[in-house]
Chain A
Amino acid sequence: MPNAVLAGIEVEVNDEGFFEDPTQWTEEMATELADIYGVPTPLTDQHWTVLHFMRQEFFEKGTGPTVRKLGKTSGVTVKELYQLFPKGPAKLAARVAGIPKPRGCI
């Protein structure tokens, strides 16, 4: 299992860079992760809304939401999601929020 050092702490990630253990994630790591994956920084309030929503969904339902579900429930539209997390919002936001790859993307 490859490890990564984020905000000075060693965390477990899988081959694709998704967190193995979301409880290892801290808010300090998000900015570093955003830089690594090309998410525009500094992170805005809207970014944080999405990141916290992703984590909440993961801990409640066992998987992060798909883009469509995010657009319907996070308070941020799908169009805005693509501006906040260009290319693939669900996957990208999952990486930055420190949760595994959402099931819907598989």
Chain B
Amino acid sequence: MEHPKNFVILGAGTGGTLAANRLRKMYPESDLQIDVVDQDNDHVYQPGLLFVPFGLAFPDEIVRPRDRQLHDGINYHENPVEKVDIEDNKVTLENGTELAYDALLIATGSVLEPGETEGLTDTGWMESVFSFYDLPGATALAEKLSTFRSGRLVINIIDMPIKCPVAPLEFAFLADWFFTENGVREDISITYVTPLDGAFTKPTASATLAELLVKKNIELVTEFNTGEVDGEAKKLIGYDGTEVEFDLAVVIPLHGGAAYVHDSPGLGDELGFIPTDNQTLQSTVADNVFVLGDAADIPASKAGSVTHFEGEVLMENIEAFLEGKPLEASYDGHANCFIETGFSKALLIDFNYETEPLPGHYPGPVGLPLLKESRLNHIGKLMFQSFYWHGLLQGRDVPGLGPNMPTSGKHTADA
């Protein structure tokens, strides 16, 4: 390259950070200038939010400064994005700074939109109606749960897509464990209310998870489309008029793309997500715009593992793009997640666009058990936080673990 090209990354969360650090290793500063933008300096380890309401994690353990996760030679701008101009290849920040780019990576994730649901943020919000999907919500809920001794706990997903689609189930399992530990489980009913037609999106895992709900005496209400949350009467009201009463509601609000996407002509869809090629992760709105993680509209879970696996593929394609070559790396939709089931156990599921979660072992025949509760998976889930800060964000590869879904340890006969 003749002179340094400008590479701008929007978002310094999981995707933006790992991409910036990998690119910095791939190119010297004389070839590529890297600018990263985010609106604040709090990088939240989002999987940790699940544990906060139960006193199993504390805010100061799961938040670190964003700029400290970025390697030397990366410019960090702490300012909200105002808009992206894909015609002029330029990003404008709210403080007026303009960043011209040769290539742009969008990694601004998804935002919670509780205001989109009638009544959700009115009477009762943060008193009897909570969300644990951000730090203020998770922290407030911790206080509420510590004094909740009897009544009806209702967990409700308003609609897909949401970040980490298994987290609400994990919340239900942990609530069962938490109330049991506190000796009040008999006085509390737990109901899981979902717009899906089962406990989860994928059939085999959905059946296993539904069995677990039964075993833990958690009621499952499916195909419920919440139209309104009435905090005064304490009930969820479906669009078809059906109602679910609660004493304490834990609601997962609607998700959308970051606000600036709506102010950037031609960049996003109606919900603020960026139209993206499922395989190359190049946006379909402009050749020099790439998308990593939750911000993309691809049919993969909005989850850190997806972002992690996408990241490796994306780096190859960005390299090809910068060198004017065709994009050949292809993401297969690989995702995996530990599903905390309470009592120091967890399940692990592993899947991609084509293959649903199967039983067996990961990443090979000798490995963590898949789709089965085990203590080993729980330990894996807890240990992951350390790997997140020190391995994943730093852009380190894991020996023997590539981005594509492994099949060697899986029982594929019934697939």
The contact of A67 among B159, B223, B269, by CB within 8 Å, is B159
- The minimal Cβ–Cβ distance linking B228 to chain A, given in whole angstroms, is 9
**Residues of A close to B201: CB separation below 8 A:** 106
Residue pair A69, B271 in contact (C-beta under 8 Å): yes
Residue pair B239, A72 in contact (C-beta under 8 Å): no
Which residue of chain B is the closest to A81 with respect to CB atoms?
B239
Residue pair B159, A68 in contact (C-beta under 8 Å): yes
Interface-side segment among A26-34, A37-45, A82-90: A82-90
**Residues of A close to B186: CB separation below 8 A:** none
Residue pair B271, A82 in contact (C-beta under 8 Å): no
- The minimal Cβ–Cβ distance linking B85 to chain A, given in whole angstroms, is 23
Interface status of A73 (Cβ within 8 A of chain B): yes
Residue pair A87, B240 in contact (C-beta under 8 Å): yes
Residue pair A82, B240 in contact (C-beta under 8 Å): yes
Interface status of B227 (Cβ within 8 A of chain A): yes
Residue pair B223, A88 in contact (C-beta under 8 Å): yes
Alpha-carbon distance A103/B269, docked complex (angstroms): 15
Using A82-B227, A104-B160 as known contacts, say yes or no to A69 and B240 having CB atoms under 8 A apart.
no
Specify which of A68, A69, A81, A106 lies most central, judged by the most chain B CB atoms within 10 Å of its CB. A68
Number of interface residues of B (CB under 8 A): 14
**Residues of A close to B174: CB separation below 8 A:** none
A 68-106 to B, binary, CB cutoff 8 A, 1 in contact else 0: 110011000011011000111000000000000001101
The contact of A68 among B227, B240, B271, B299, by CB within 8 Å, is B271
Residue pair A73, B270 in contact (C-beta under 8 Å): yes
Using A86-B240, A87-B240, A106-B201 as known contacts, say yes or no to A78 and B270 having CB atoms under 8 A apart.
no
Interface status of B254 (Cβ within 8 A of chain A): yes
Alpha-carbon distance A15/B254, docked complex (angstroms): 31
**Residues of B close to A73: CB separation below 8 A:** 270
> Shortest 4 CB-CB distances between A and B: which pairs?
A82-B239, A72-B270, A69-B270, A73-B270
**Assuming A69-B269, A72-B270, A106-B201, what are 20 further A-B pairs, CB within 8 angstroms?**
A66-B159, A67-B159, A67-B225, A68-B254, A68-B270, A69-B270, A73-B270, A78-B239, A79-B227, A79-B239, A82-B225, A82-B239, A82-B240, A87-B223, A87-B240, A88-B225, A103-B299, A104-B160, A104-B161, A106-B299
Instruction: Give chain B's interface residues, CB within 8 Å of chain A.
Output: 159-161, 201, 223, 225, 227, 239-240, 254, 269-271, 299
Instruction: Give chain A's interface residues, CB within 8 Å of chain B.
Output: 66-69, 72-73, 78-79, 81-82, 86-88, 103-104, 106
What are 27 contact pairs spanning A and B, CB under 8 A? Answer: A66-B159, A66-B160, A67-B159, A68-B254, A68-B270, A68-B271, A69-B269, A69-B270, A69-B271, A72-B270, A72-B271, A73-B270, A79-B227, A79-B239, A81-B239, A82-B239, A82-B240, A86-B240, A87-B223, A87-B240, A88-B223, A88-B225, A103-B299, A104-B160, A104-B161, A106-B201, A106-B299
